[in-house]
Amino acid sequence: MDPDVEIATNVRVVMRDGAVLRADVYRPRVDRRLPALLLRIPYNKELAQSYVYAHPLWYARQGFVVVVQDVRGRYRSDGAFYPLRQEADDAVDTLAWLGTLPFIGEAVGMYGFSYPGKAQLLAAARGDPRLAAIAPGFCGSGMYATAFTNGAFNLAMMVSWSIQLALDEARWQRDRRACQILSDALETLPRQYATLPLRDLAPLRATGRSQFFFDMLDHPVRDAFWRDLELGAGGFEAIGVPGLHFGGWYDTFVSETLRTFEHLSGREDQFLLVGPWLHLPWSPWVGETDFGDAARCEIDEVQVRWFRHWLVDGGRGELDLPRVRIFVMGRNEWRSEAEWPLGRARDVTFFLHSGGRANSLNGDGSLSADPPGNEPADMFAYNPLDPVPSLGGHSCCFPHQAPMGPCDQRAVEARNDVLVYSSRRLEAPMEVTGHARVRLFVASSAATTDFTVKLVDVHADGRAVNLCESVFRVGQATSPGRLLRDDEVRELAFEVGVTSNWFGGGHRVRLEVSSSNFPMYDRNLNTLSPSDEWSAVVATQRVFHTAEFASALILPVVG
């Protein structure tokens, strides 16, 4: 019993199709109507994402009625769960129900990170007048970017998340057999990542759960399948409520978080905050790096100011928050900005160079502002059965078994199937803030293959710390690029990722190029009809840097 807050558990909320969803309501013991905060969650309303946020009781003590609801088909709510498919309708129905409660005022806000953040965006696009503000954190605007990056499957993210959801469901349904299978799978995630073919992922096949995992595997490009699971570019125009968007530079969704803000940044009521954090936890200690006391998570305090402004003050007066607040890594300090992307950032091009042997740290790869001349191509053999292991990165959601955060890359840079291009030591510090991009000219002996990239900050002591990474799948009819022909030169232009990093004096900029980053991304078996490990083909890969085919890294440098 809390003397200040009355708690009602498992309150029934009936949806338009008759499904009953259940919510816990935390109501301050005051005799007046109060604004409400709604958190709709697939991860157990009793936890209420309190592993990163303050408990709902804390928010209630700040003067809000807090409503935490299990989404459809999860925990105490009826129906069948399928990611995002019903969330917009169910949110609108829940908002209508909140409007019938005599102790709630007219203003309702929504909060929550990851899946609940995506669900907020879908709800906001419906234009319900009861929704006055949102605070979507660490999320994208749909499911496609959760599952795929440029046609490659986000393996570690999707395998761990799908198994965890299946285990939660099995535990709730007291299915002991399924629980044992799925618990064992979570404890042996590296073994699950290695499954070939991936469509035979045993824990999910054996238990018949998380069918969406296999459905998504069948749709590696944004086709009609994704329509009900995405906000879509046109959907941003329908969002008319104030939004506080926040994330972390090492979060799996950080590029999506920034793109969402960019879509909405023409509105003055959209705000952005990005720290140095992982998807979770939100701590100053991230991967192998301690960002110091300045990196302490402040989301709860910021959200209270945010929701008081819009729900209590009705948006009147000045909001005590900067429009854009970013943590600059390397300097390890926060900075306020008026816009994103930063208008004062300019593109600086670093061209790839070598004498034909950029393989590993022992090679002769380099980066410079000078365009290449007549230089021989770099070559390496990509063996899908011996992929380059992920060291740190932007995956989710188990830090000890999924690639997350900053990590010294020298162990993978020792491999000959990793091309290493490094600048000279910087004479003066250089800040890179924004979306980093590459333009690669490549060829392969395979009809389908992958090319991976990684942006690295090489410290004066030699530590090579990853900042962001990406992959591009070419050659499959269902992927972003058409079929490759043997030795055909192809141009690949894509984003490496987004970051804010201070390269100190004496540091070097480094770009890694390879064809695998496993298990962050699934392995391309270099064959058009992959079935299992026996179908894998070794591919000879080439990366060009000549006057005609000038491969380059393009960085947003703040001068």
Task: List, by residue number, the catalytic residues.
Answer: 114, 251, 279
Q: To which residue do tokens 């100190």 refer?
A: 504
Q: Give the contacts of 48 (CB within 8 A, at least 6 positions apart).
A: 24, 39, 41, 55, 56, 68
From CA 302, how far away is CA 292, in angstroms rounded?
19
Q: Are strands 333-337 and 539-544 parallel, antiparallel or unpaired?
A: unpaired
Q: Compute the CA torsion angle 166, 169, 174, 180 (nearest 10 deg).
A: 20
Whether 315 and 309 have beta carbons less than 8 Å apart is answered as yes
Amino acid at residue number 67: V
Q: Is 482 exposed, middle or buried (0-12, 13-18, 19+ CB in 10 A)?
A: exposed
The tokens for 149 are: 């990056």
What is the DSSP-derived secondary structure letter of residue 265?
T
Please state the three-class secondary structure of 148-185 as a single string. Answer: EECCEECHHHHHHHHHHHHHHHHHHCCCHHHHHHHHHH
CA 530 from centroid of its chain's CA atoms: 27
- Cα dist from 386 to 194, 512, 519, 550, whole Å: 11, 17, 12, 29
Tell me the CB-side half-sphere exposure of residue 92, using CA atoms within 13 A.
13
The tokens for 301 are: 């305090």
Which string of DSSP letters, residue by residue, matches 21-70? EEEEEEEES-SS-EEEEEEEESS-TTTTTTTTSPPHHHHHHTT-EEEEEE
Residue 255, H or E segment: helix 254-264
Whether 49 and 42 have beta carbons less than 8 Å apart is answered as no
Query: What are the phi and psi torsion angles at 480 (to 5°)?
Result: -65, -20
Query: What are the phi and psi torsion angles at 334 (to 5°)?
Result: -85, 150
